[in-house]
């Protein structure tokens, strides 16, 4: 296994670096310390052919102006908070309304737009990068100084493991995730509608027109949202207004690692399986991609050029006490893990 580090530019006097992790199977992951972005993920297909299976840009400038969260870390709170408003311990907090009237993915300058401290590491499991960031009290309107560490580790089992850790000095809310867009045919090789998907969830969080949960957990059975058995992503997508952008309530007991989803691409034979400690997962079918973005190989990303499987707590959880809590208190450790495992069939 191998890890290398090269300069990736400079932002406001802060040095940026790109880290390359490589295992014995020619699986390679590239990560930069701006936004915790996975810029490249090279995976072999069933014939051994290597393709980059995540969407991304060629140049730093494009990442600096990106509006689609391509490959980024998301925080302090992933997904939406209704009207950017919540109450914690009797005190009201107002966050940015950067998604219509709602708050999305941490605000105007979320974790996807900051420079992280970065150190490479290796251990008996594999090679990796540890990113650290202190989000100060009041940053983007959130309370508490939040110290966050995110560790990316690649092993020889073709697993990319992401560990999220955080502590705070005041009660706050937190919901970290990662926003890679996957295409198991290879980025720039068309849409993902023929990918076959299985999601380990019998229910989803029903939402209103602004994609804010109503509080109801509805069954997926007999709806186009049912991926409890293998289904092509595109088979019923036209029955979903705008395409898939839904939080699934994972079938789980306790807080141990649980199967969230599996995706397979028939032509390449690539399979990606996702396990997580999180209670939910947002499945997004790349509905907003409209051909305006030019990818790293010079190909424009049209609608459904990639899909996201964002493991997470539920959207708008601070305003739904019946949902799993996203409150972090002083003395507590926020800890979540998600594993992306690549195989072939």
Catalytically annotated residues: 179, 310
What is the distance between the alpha carbons of residues 270 and 79, in angstroms, rounded to a whole number?
28
What is the distance between the alpha carbons of residues 329 and 317, in angstroms, rounded to a whole number?
16
Looking up tokens 């290597």 gives 50
Strands 50-52 and 72-74: unpaired
Strands 177-179 and 72-74: antiparallel
Which among 307, 304, 309, 308 has a CA at the least distance from the CA of 289? 304
Tell me if residue 171 falls in helix, strand or coil: coil
Tell the burial category of 238 from Cβ atoms under 10 Å away from its Cβ (0-12, 13-18, 19+): exposed
Which among 241, 233, 318 has a CA at the least distance from the CA of 283? 233
Beta strands in 177-241 (DSSP E): 177-179, 196-199, 201-207, 213-219, 231-232
Question: Which structure tokens are listed for 144?
Answer: 């508490």
Under 8 Å CB-to-CB from 217, ≥6 apart: which residues?
Answer: 203, 204, 205, 206, 249
């Amino acid at each position: 296994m191998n890890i290398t580090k090269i300069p990736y530019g400079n932002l406001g006097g802060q040095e940026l670096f790109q880290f390359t992790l490589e295992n014995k199977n020619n699986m390679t992951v590239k990560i930069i310390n701006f936004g915790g972005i996975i810029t490249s993920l090279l995976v072999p297909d069933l014939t051994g052919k290597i393709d980059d299976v995540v969407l991304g840009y060629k140049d730093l400038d494009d990442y600096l102006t990106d509006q689609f969260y391509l490959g980024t870390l998301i925080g302090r709170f992933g997904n939406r908070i209704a009207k950017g408003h919540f109450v914690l311990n009797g005190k009201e907090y107002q966050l940015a309304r950067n998604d219509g009237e709602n708050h999305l993915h941490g605000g105007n300058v979320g974790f996807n737009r900051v420079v992280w401290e970065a150190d490479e590491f290796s251990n008996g499991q594999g090679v990796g990068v540890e990113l650290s960031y202190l989000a100060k009290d009041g940053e983007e309107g959130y309370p508490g100084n939040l110290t966050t560490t995110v560790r990316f580790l690649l092993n020889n089992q073709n697993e990319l493991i992401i560990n999220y850790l955080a502590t705070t000095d005041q009660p706050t809310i937190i919901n970290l995730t990662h926003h890679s867009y996957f295409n198991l045919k290879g980025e720039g090789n068309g849409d993902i509608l023929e990918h076959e998907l299985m999601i380990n969830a019998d229910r989803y969080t029903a939402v209103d027109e602004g994609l804010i949960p109503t509080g109801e957990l509805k069954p997926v059975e007999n709806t186009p949202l049912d991926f409890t058995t293998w289904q092509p992503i595109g088979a019923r997508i036209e029955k979903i207004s705008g395409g898939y952008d839904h939080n699934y309530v994972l079938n789980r007991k306790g807080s141990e690692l649980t199967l969230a989803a599996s995706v397979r691409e028939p032509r390449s034979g690539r399979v990606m399986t996702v396990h997580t400690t999180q209670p939910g997962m947002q499945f997004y079918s790349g509905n907003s991609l409209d051909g305006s973005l030019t990818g790293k190989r010079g190909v424009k990303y049209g609608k459904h050029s990639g899909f996201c499987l964002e493991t997470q707590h539920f959207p708008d959880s601070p305003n739904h006490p019946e949902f799993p809590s996203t409150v972090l208190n002083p003395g507590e450790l926020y800890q979540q893990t998600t594993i992306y495992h690549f195989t072939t069939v």
